[in-house]
Amino acid sequence: MNGQLTVKDQITIDAPVSKVWEVLVAPKYIRQWDDLPEGFDDYYLEPGRSIEWSGVSRTTVTDSEPNKLLRLSLYVWKWELPPASYDIAYTYRLAEQDSQTVLMLEIGDFSVLEDGDNYFEASVDFAKESLPKIKNLAENRV
């Protein structure tokens, strides 16, 4: 497959980066903007932490710089090659802008997959649904 299949989206949030970061890494907030597997404990996302959907997929925190960057590598068990063969991730970048936070989300690159278009489309939907929820949680968090 030619071309890059990477979703890129962003949202401006009227909250400090520390609040947005908390919404990204604390399971009590993650559950409100994304799915977590049954039985996932309330462990903050930190380097090496994995979220595994048994027999389906796994995301692993591969990079974390508090209040700046969170990267979760994605692997789906039905993919043909072993996990090390892929560099597909959810990358969240935060930047301060005046008294607001710009949250940038990048998901992919799915072009290495035979059915990459499907993953790309699903990720477009995920970004459109999750970013407003993250914004709302960060802005209204007590």
What are the structural domains of the chain? 7-140 (3.30.530.20)
pLDDT the model gives residue 1: 43
> Residue 3: is its pLDDT beyond 70?
no
CA pair distance 132, 115, nearest whole angstrom: 27
pLDDT the model gives residue 142: 52
Q: pLDDT, tens digit, for every residue of 44-91? A: 999 999 999 998 999 999 999 999 999 999 999 999 999 989 999 999
Q: pLDDT, tens digit, for every residue of 85-140? A: 999 999 999 999 988 999 999 999 999 999 999 999 999 999 999 999 999 999 99
**Widest pairwise Cα distance in the chain:** 46
Q: Which of 103, 101, 100 shows the shortest CA–CA distance to 91?
A: 103
State the pTM of this model: 0.94
Helix (H) or strand (E) holding 76: strand 69-76
Give every CB contact of residue 38 below 8 A, 6+ residues apart in sequence. Answer: none
CA pair distance 26, 36, nearest whole angstrom: 11
